[in-house]
A and B are shown apart, each in its own frame.
Chain A
């Protein structure tokens, strides 16, 4: 049954035909399409997933084409300004000219390093603790340069660079049509080539004929090309076990399997077609490669093309656009009270939400795991929950309140999500402890749901206080808002509490203690305690409605602290992902919330003495 649904989902979500962008490559422990590989590297070098410059000599091509360009036209590509150096100090120390885009080409930077050789030397002697920010960034630039160079020459062996014209040689090597031959061709047919070489060695130099002479040139040329043997970052050739190899690796003289032989041959043809700009043929060879690999290896090709289209679609950006549109239509609906305008904002939110869900489901299908595994994914999921709950409210109330909460929360969280996505690959593999689908899908999603519901409760409390200030006479609305806030607190308590306890049970199952006062655990506990405190304060009559709403509105701070704040401490089992900006933004948010909500509370108190 589950399988049926799964296949159904796959059927709906799979789109597009298989193209050269979907060719499988092993990177960071996972098979992914070349498109993702290209995007990740472009992000690493350039700071963005795609080019955005007005360089006269270079078009703004997509990442996967850029990758093929550097494979096939490495010389030309050296001039493309692909390296992002934002820090002017770094650029200056490398002797680079100022430019407005902070983008530099490989050639420029290499020149910079050559002219400042002692720069790197001195950095190498410094130990990590003493390195300044500039030092670290220079090292990063250097590493990027190295990795770029490695990628550039990754397919060098497929480039048809060797001229073999003597008909005797051609015939013996089995070359039919007259074209240049690649390094890989010789390596595949090494047995035949060895015979020719042996003949060359056995014949005295004085007796060499034309084909002998050519052969000696080829041998030298091949020898020269092996200098790029280090370029092994392109793991595109399947091996045994789960390991994949780069073309250069399998060409170190080992005996090739039938599959490897065929794949190499197909890649030669593919690269050749790409150079000739014959995209049709490129895709035909792509299909052959996939088919060949699929025979021997259990490879889910649908996931590859799915991932490429996920990369291209930029779903979450569109989702945010619709949230923004909804926000503005909602603003209009407040001014001209019209049923259809209100409905339009509601529909816009729904479209944004559907896109949001589609993005989440795509990610789940691609990675074959539950929705929340990393901090980035938790942002996506929490905002999903937030919008979901707000939508439920909107469905029942139809007074744009749900749209308000959904759009504000959705926009904010998407925006934070983009910041995190810009840090690097968001589809990474998981470390051993986390590699458990059962617990990830129970504990992590429950706690993330708890975050989401708590945020909705917090926002609802914000609105309650604001309404208290602006329309203190609107008792009916106030009552409704308060009841909703109260219900949401209960629900937030339910999800955070069980999420936390499930986490404890996971910990008990996996490493033997239910509770260890680890920062992330404490963070979740703080939310639970906060909810409990608010409920009991209300039950005991120590506070009344406005005080309660004030307390609940501050739960947002606790949620954000538990969610992002604990990572700043950098201790314990849960610390993953750390950026310096996070701290500043966090404190700004907290400061703003406290000042804003306290002001609101004081104003509301003055206007509604009965509710205090």
Chain B
């Protein structure tokens, strides 16, 4: 009896397994792959064409880095979802029979390489972050700024020895949200937040409520730039719960005069800036150098001579085009420069990416797979000829 039931359950299990097999077979069908790849072709095509109008960043957000994209009122799978489907579909390949036979091993290896590539892509998309370190010649920096995200910082400068920072990051910076934190006595209500705007001076002096720069200026919203990093974001907010400084203030990126606040015998600064991430070390720009093709304005190469300082122990490093500095998981690339009279400023693109090695590994694996398969096919055709 027991044996019977065991047999039965085994049978059930086997049946279940074969059912699983069927499902996997369906999910892993190359038909699905063909279809997803067709959809991917359409996405890539559209996502490329629209870049002319909306710029690279927006196109990337809309068609590749999101789960869904909207055509009119209908949601369609965007790049991320399509690639996830592709990933699941490809994974099922490994449940097929005979994939390690001589005939299939090359193809199997290649598929494995592709899967690794997709995993690397996912890791990069979820966990990598970066921005740019901007340093003037002779100056030191220990943070990088995000290209796209902004943050609102309240700095308590009352203490002579230490400044206290309270940072509100970009997800909080939306219209009508109310910001408060134990470290600051007042409350910030965001009246408006513009991705791109410009300050325009007021013809009439505004209401009494307006304070600081808002007294003489207002922010005019303007269309978002195609080059997203060129946007000048602005914020209008209302301070309350202060002793005597309640009112409406404004800030924007690169504001020439810092918004200060003296309240309840304490000094504060309020700054809207690009989101900063601090590095566990410091970089000092010793010298920026650019070499032109002789007699022209065409750059031949750029390089920055940098002092990499950790625990105040300096080490000299040269960062140049195609030769980045890699340190503690961070990579610094010579991306650009700013020249202002005799002042030179270097712009180093900074990336911390955990998926960095995946493309390298998967390329090698794919290469081996395809080459093996080609070799196999060539040998087979030779054998056929001999016969």
Cα A394 to Cα B162 in complex, Å, equals: 79
Encode A293-324 as 1/0 by CB contact (under 8 A) with B: 00000000000000000000000000000000
Cβ-based interface call for B366 (8 A)? yes
Cβ contact of A511, chosen from B41, B120, B295, B333, cutoff 8 A = B333
Cβ contact of B30, chosen from A512, A540, A566, A572, cutoff 8 A = A540
Q: How far is the CB of B146 from chain A (nearest CB, A)?
A: 14
Cβ-based interface call for A519 (8 A)? yes
A26 touches B295 (CB 8 A): yes
Which of B50-58, B148-156, B182-190, B200-208 is the contact stretch?
Answer: B50-58
Cα A568 to Cα B89 in complex, Å, equals: 35
A28 touches B296 (CB 8 A): yes
Interfacial residues of chain A within 248-287, with CB under 8 A of chain B in the complex: none
Counting chain A CB atoms within 10 Å of each CB, the highest count among B44, B120, B366 belongs to B44
A517 touches B55 (CB 8 A): no
Cα A569 to Cα B296 in complex, Å, equals: 27
Question: Chain A residues near B64 (CB, 8 Å)?
Answer: 517
A432 touches B321 (CB 8 A): yes
Cα A542 to Cα B294 in complex, Å, equals: 59
Cα A494 to Cα B40 in complex, Å, equals: 19
Q: How far is the CB of A505 from chain B (nearest CB, A)?
A: 6
Question: Chain A residues near B124 (CB, 8 Å)?
Answer: 514
B324 touches A536 (CB 8 A): no
Main secondary structure of the interface of A (DSSP, over half): helix
Question: Chain B residues near A512 (CB, 8 Å)?
Answer: 130, 324, 331, 333, 335, 349-351, 353
Cβ-based interface call for B356 (8 A)? yes
Q: Which residue of B lies closest to A26 (CB)?
A: B295
A570 touches B52 (CB 8 A): yes
Question: Chain B residues near A523 (CB, 8 Å)?
Answer: 48
Interfacial residues of chain B within 349-374, with CB under 8 A of chain A in the complex: 349-351, 353, 356, 359-360, 363, 366-367, 370, 374
Question: Chain A residues near B359 (CB, 8 Å)?
Answer: 501, 504-505, 508, 514
Which of A5-13, A36-44, A527-535 is the contact stretch?
Answer: A527-535
Q: How far is the CB of A441 from chain B (nearest CB, A)?
A: 13
Cβ-based interface call for A358 (8 A)? no
How many chain A residues touch B (CB < 8 A): the figure is 57
Encode B33-59 as 1/0 by CB contact (under 8 A) with A: 110011011001101110110011001
Cβ-based interface call for A498 (8 A)? yes
Asked whether A513 and B351 contact (CB < 8 A) given A26-B295, A241-B294, A432-B300, the answer is: yes
Counting chain A CB atoms within 10 Å of each CB, the highest count among B52, B322, B350 belongs to B322
Question: Chain A residues near B121 (CB, 8 Å)?
Answer: 515
Counting chain B CB atoms within 10 Å of each CB, the highest count among A435, A497, A514, A539 belongs to A514
Cβ-based interface call for A611 (8 A)? no
Cβ contact of B40, chosen from A27, A28, A529, A571, cutoff 8 A = A529
Cβ-based interface call for A30 (8 A)? yes
Asked whether A539 and B296 contact (CB < 8 A) given A510-B321, A523-B48, A572-B51, the answer is: no
Question: Chain B residues near A540 (CB, 8 Å)?
Answer: 29-31, 33-34
Cβ-based interface call for A140 (8 A)? no
Cβ contact of B322, chosen from A439, A490, A516, cutoff 8 A = A439
A432 touches B301 (CB 8 A): yes
Known: A498-B367, A519-B51, A571-B226. 11 other contacts (CB 8 A): A29-B295, A439-B322, A491-B374, A505-B363, A512-B335, A512-B350, A514-B359, A517-B59, A526-B41, A540-B31, A566-B48
A-B contact pairs, 12 of them (CB 8 A): A28-B298, A429-B293, A429-B296, A487-B377, A501-B359, A511-B333, A514-B124, A517-B59, A529-B44, A533-B37, A536-B34, A572-B56
B binding-site residues for A, Cβ under 8 Å: 29-31, 33-34, 37-38, 40-41, 44-45, 47-49, 51-52, 55-56, 59-60, 63-64, 120-121, 124, 130, 226, 292-296, 298-302, 321-322, 324, 331, 333, 335, 349-351, 353, 356, 359-360, 363, 366-367, 370, 374, 377
